[in-house]
Chain A
């Protein structure tokens, strides 16, 4: 007998818990079709970046305005084109195409900066036919005068504004860097989030020694990164009444199974699919199925959350700071300490 892989995410019935996370693969209709073919139960489209739209609009405007009406011999220097596609139109077009070509749910993703922008684009995304919306909130509080409370309120208000403006399910994807993640999660749920996606992965600055310049980097994730999601989904899934999506670091069937056991409703993959191609999903699904069969689970629903903090025989294990176990493990393994510096997640080293 083969286990039932179905799961529910923000009220959406999905065939499996394997969702394709936002990545370049979900930015083209070809990529989306391949993901569906490989077994993704839903897709999160590549993010619409409000900041990028504004930047594009401003730069097109600047190119077209520069030197206009400055000289008697030329009113301007570029031919007028029909459309500069600076707005969300191409993104909305992708939603439209995805909806007409795909059978699985299509979750749009929005990365905004301003309250006006968030709500406007969320509305347009809903109107374009997306089944759900994932808000990808990423705010670097670079000004040392900004308080944690300021940042949290900003998140909450944004979610409240967007949730009030749309009727499709709303998920919020956040990073882990809150003093009290659980409290933030609750407040986001209260503000209208129906799902939490843990966690964001960020673009980090790097310094190029050759060019003596600051350059952006984004490394593909690895399995260890999924452990932070594992911890927090295990802790929060019993406390906050929303759907949970595990994101960041999931590479294999094993990673997926662990997160499901911790309490995730769906697991989202990007790096592994970018590395190995959409077909990798088939292997993951096969691995999940065979593990469930081997362990005599009849369905994902049965096993989901069975090792969450609430369900775990050792709930304090999720809260324990790493050193207790780590010292033992690492004495044996003699790990290279640089390994930890290379990781992006903050390690609670002391």
Chain B
């Protein structure tokens, strides 16, 4: 240690917040999640706040809940904080008005993030904080990791002194996730900044029955207004309070901040005003321009609310003629963005005031570089600068964007810059983060690390950007010219331009299975050319082999880290090796000596195995960086999607983007990710036609088709098939085919395949084999397979395993984790009903793998029909889906009314057939679709006034269903109120809960679906309470169809549940057990593992069908058998249980005993419920009467 710490922005802020709080109410949301997690972990470890107490950290059901809990805790006198971002901040807004209105001191720390508009984005800008600027919170902005810490403290001081709440924000990802070397704050400084007298003043205002007061009164027109104005003096004092706090802070630490801080030329003629991390890049531009003789300056805004106009004017140099205000947000239709407006107003009416222009930059973490800042200064220097502009994109529609000089660079020679390309699972990010820490904490150099991660959840690429230099590093943009490029995965060379950022003369380290003498001809020609043209020093190491030899298969991180240190020369080699080992010791200390030894061995082997390549003078070989998408891909995919896939999305102009955010479906098929190391190999000779492989495949990458044998005449060599043994479809053949470029190689199919060879037990009809063996043959087979016709839906039993698997999945090749337990359910849903469903998808894993660009898995069939998918928010998904239902019902009702009115024109037969159509089967739906074609033809010829309207709505005469999909975080927690309301509405919506029992997407935080005794974030000592029984609650309505399923345990029950849920004339709820990486299981065994979940009684299977009640039977049927193995046997195979059993054996045992009781008790209860007679009254009649008759198509068509 050298008096510095190397941390990211989230940790920097949370370290202060945790020490200055008594109650911390939280809810996970990217990119602020880590602040809550760290606070929870610190409290769990007994770390005390400044007053010697351990802060209480409580996870709530939503950010709204967190804000409410906080409001209460503040009212009762506690020192409180919370952490949030984006939609989370918006959910806190109502309470924020209250907290501010009541003049309550608290600090909300926000990792500022884009608010979802035309699309969701997890990345950073100021649209969230700007959306709450009217709340009455003071707003303080940090622009760096050091500031995230320092201003956190200043905010906590100022809030107590001003008696007003503060929003302290810094840029999501750019600051929250940037690792930087900073000076930490000691408890002494904190104590000096937070005098007891201020704390006492806060406490004295607390509500107490010992001296009661009343808050939250309702006021009338007579006094509300005056009351609102009564706080004016308090707000007026805030800038002074903050300035004083900053002065006091400077006395204590030597670091001086100002509410508006000017830097640059003392007689600048042009000044840029901005807030947040962009200041780092702008600062570099100012210095570079001034060095060239220009007169430019930068005004950083720290205190945004209350906006001190006089202080702003005071901070500006008198010489300034023109100002550009940059806003990291967009207010469509406004006269300008918020900061711009404030600056304009501040200068308005002042003698000789400079002219002001406003621009937008950096939305959703769009890069903001010194070159872009220079472009803004150039615009300010133009004859007539644009009043409104954008920078960082190409706007070829409204032409607002500035041109940026690509050669403008401020990266100094004495800063080492390195980029590392890794795979999500290879440990590159962890090792490069360690590298930053090693250099930051063991040398005099300053260090910075920033990590770009792909949202795909399998086979994702990570790019680490590192800088080391003699001065604090404020370069708040990606490394542009790297002196070191590490490519940790050989396969990347063919897919991405890894040398794009390499500077001339840089060092290139490649993890290569080929030796230095052989590698040249094995790398693409484009890469060879870049190596020669940029004069790179080229080294290789077979780190994959070294890792395997060291007993760490796949973890190439420490090996390549050792090579980096050896080549970069930041530290003497021996020191570097010692430092790496120290870091290994620190990182893995809790995991045991064997793990440490293996990593040490890997480091020791590394240097001997690294070799320099003698770079030839000519390119060799035929290998090229491959085409991103096939030539057959549609135009949009070629023009837009392919560029995003290739990592050139930044270059796409505005005109390429669909305004409003509606995107074509079926794009994942063009990405061909080619990430499987092993592929399933089918042996038809022992296949038993069960179709379980295709059923359980999480990626729709293994398919079955049944077809006429005469098709085989055109099959390519090696294409496999076998006789299809079925009485229903005699004389057919079938093929199980793998899509080799789309398979993730998760192995679920092979693990689940029940067809064993009689003579060699380990051989199944599907075995995982090395992917490189026959990939080309498999590609040809896959192409041919795709050309085979899909089976006629009307000729199969959709509600059976085999029948469903004969149908085309309309959800394919998602970016879900390899072996995902959720996606097989979605795929099955689309096979069974995909051509007629609308999907409302809650935010979470399923909205990310389902809707994250560049490519998306929801697709359409050959007729162009398929699931229509949309994501609204996290909390409102049930309501969103219900709205879809209402719209469909209303349009269908109109269509039916018009149809009836037009009977004379259209013919009684057609009208009667259409109105009375039975659409409960595939055949019925197919026939109705034919009638719609007929109807449209007749309408085209009709002159009746209703004809155009009916033509528009005719498709609504075909049954459509609405599926509301989301995870347990949505259904059990944040969206529960809405879900409950929607189920209670009695409307015909179908709800599918993909229950992973944690918040999977944000990293495994506990939800109310988390079972007792399992660990999760916010339940590190094991969840103390039992899982909420959502199904039981829903079934209490009586008219809701409820099923609890686990596909891997009972395929047929799962398929049946989907069929019954769809058929039920009312709300349906399916709760689907979904294995997840957050369970700590071997994901290839996820499906077979579900059997143990059911056998232990952990996950009982049942169906509660109100229709059975109406038929005089018992509505509840328990489909699984009585528990046959103890819960512990199931739990021992899951990391979420076994880690606790390792860490705290006695506690784990106590909780496990209770959890076993939960299982026993629930089984007993379900047994009793399955004997209960229940007959919910048929309320559809009353509803129809109210709705004017026939409110839904389905209601009348389904008995």
Interface on A for B, CB 8 Å cutoff? Answer: 53-54, 56-58, 60-61, 63-87, 90, 116, 120, 212
Contacts and interface: CB of A to CB of B under 8 A. Distances in A.
Contacts of A67: 424-425, 817, 1077
A81 B1144 CA distance: 9
B460 A69 contact: no
20 contacts: A57-B591, A60-B591, A67-B424, A67-B1077, A69-B429, A69-B451, A69-B453, A71-B424, A71-B453, A71-B455, A74-B1002, A75-B1003, A77-B1078, A78-B1015, A78-B1135, A81-B1143, A82-B1143, A83-B1143, A84-B1142, A212-B756
Interface stretch (B128-136, B273-281, B344-352, B1016-1024): B1016-1024
B592 A86 contact: yes
Contacts, number: 141
Contact of B1020 (A70, A80, A90): A80
Given A53-B592, A69-B424, A73-B30, 18 more contacts: A54-B594, A57-B594, A67-B1077, A69-B462, A70-B424, A70-B460, A72-B455, A73-B33, A74-B33, A76-B1003, A77-B1000, A79-B1015, A79-B1016, A82-B45, A82-B590, A84-B591, A84-B1139, A87-B593
A79 B1142 contact: no
Given A70-B462, A79-B1020, A80-B41, A85 B424 contact: no
Most buried by B among A66, A78, A87: A78
A85 B1002 contact: no
A240 B237 CA distance: 94
B588 interface: yes
Nearest to B431: A69
Interface string B1019-1036: 110000000000000000
A71 B460 contact: yes
A84 B593 CA distance: 12
Contact of B1145 (A69, A70, A80, A85): A85
B455 A81 contact: no
In this complex, which of A76, A77, A90 has the most chain B Cβ atoms within 10 angstroms of its Cβ? A77
Interface in B17-36: 30-31, 33-34
B354 interface: no
Given A67-B424, A67-B425, A78-B1139, A57 B41 contact: no
A120 B594 CA distance: 12
B457 interface: yes
B109 interface: no
B842 to A, nearest CB: 15
Nearest to B756: A212
Contacts of A65: 427, 555
Contacts of A61: 588, 591-592, 595
Nearest to B29: A73
A66 B460 CA distance: 13
| Top 9 closest pairs, chain A to chain B, by CB | A74-B1003, A70-B424, A57-B592, A79-B1020, A69-B429, A63-B1135, A77-B1004, A81-B1143, A86-B592
B457 A70 contact: yes
A205 B551 CA distance: 26
Chain A interface, >50% SS class: loop
A53 B453 CA distance: 34
Interface of B: 30-31, 33-34, 37, 40-41, 44-45, 122, 173, 424-425, 427-430, 433, 451, 453-455, 457, 460, 462, 551, 555, 588, 590-595, 597, 756, 761, 817, 848, 1000-1004, 1015-1020, 1077-1078, 1080, 1135-1136, 1139-1140, 1142-1145
A83 B30 contact: no
A229 to B, nearest CB: 34
A79 B41 contact: yes
B753 to A, nearest CB: 14
Given A58-B595, A67-B1077, A77-B1077, A212 B761 contact: yes
Given A60-B1142, A212-B761, A73 B591 contact: no
Contact of B430 (A69, A77, A82, A116): A69
B427 A68 contact: yes
B835 to A, nearest CB: 32
B1125 to A, nearest CB: 13
B1030 to A, nearest CB: 23
Given A60-B592, A83-B590, A85-B1143, A74 B462 contact: no
Residue of A60, A65, A73, A86 contacting most chain B CB atoms (<10 Å): A73
Nearest to A68: B430
Contacts of B40: 79
Nearest to B453: A72
Contacts of B425: 66-67, 70
A66 B1077 contact: yes
Contact of A72 (B30, B555, B597, B1020): B30
A120 B1142 CA distance: 22
A70 B592 CA distance: 23
Contacts of B455: 71-73
A116 B1001 CA distance: 42
B1143 A84 contact: yes
A79 B592 contact: no
Contacts of B817: 67
Most buried by A among B40, B1004, B1016, B1018: B1004
A65 to B, nearest CB: 7
A53 B597 CA distance: 13
Nearest to B422: A69
Contacts of B1003: 73-77
A120 B967 CA distance: 48
B1106 to A, nearest CB: 38
A72 B852 CA distance: 13
A40 to B, nearest CB: 26
A78 B1014 CA distance: 11
B591 A81 contact: no
A288 to B, nearest CB: 38
Contacts of A120: 593
B558 to A, nearest CB: 12
A58 B596 CA distance: 10
A73 B451 CA distance: 12
Contacts of B428: 69
A74 B433 CA distance: 15
Contacts of A53: 592, 594
A77 B41 CA distance: 13
A57 B761 CA distance: 31
Contacts of A71: 424, 453, 455, 457, 460
A66 B427 CA distance: 9
Contacts of A74: 33, 1001-1004
B108 to A, nearest CB: 20
Contacts of B433: 69
Contact of A73 (B430, B1001, B1020): B1001
A65 B462 CA distance: 15
Given A69-B451, A69-B462, A74-B1003, A85 B1142 contact: yes
Contact of B453 (A54, A70, A80): A70
A87 B1077 contact: no
A46 B37 CA distance: 39
Contacts of B34: 75
A64 B591 contact: yes
Residue in B33, B451, B591 with the greatest tally of chain A CB atoms within 10 Å:
B591
Contact of B1142 (A56, A75, A76): A56
Contacts of B595: 57-58, 61
A54 B429 CA distance: 26
A53 to B, nearest CB: 7
Q: Which of B34, B1002, B1003, B1077 has the most CB of A within 10 A?
A: B1003
A83 to B, nearest CB: 6
A68 B588 CA distance: 14
Contacts of A83: 590, 1143
A177 to B, nearest CB: 28
A325 B19 CA distance: 83
Contacts of B597: 116
A58 B594 CA distance: 7
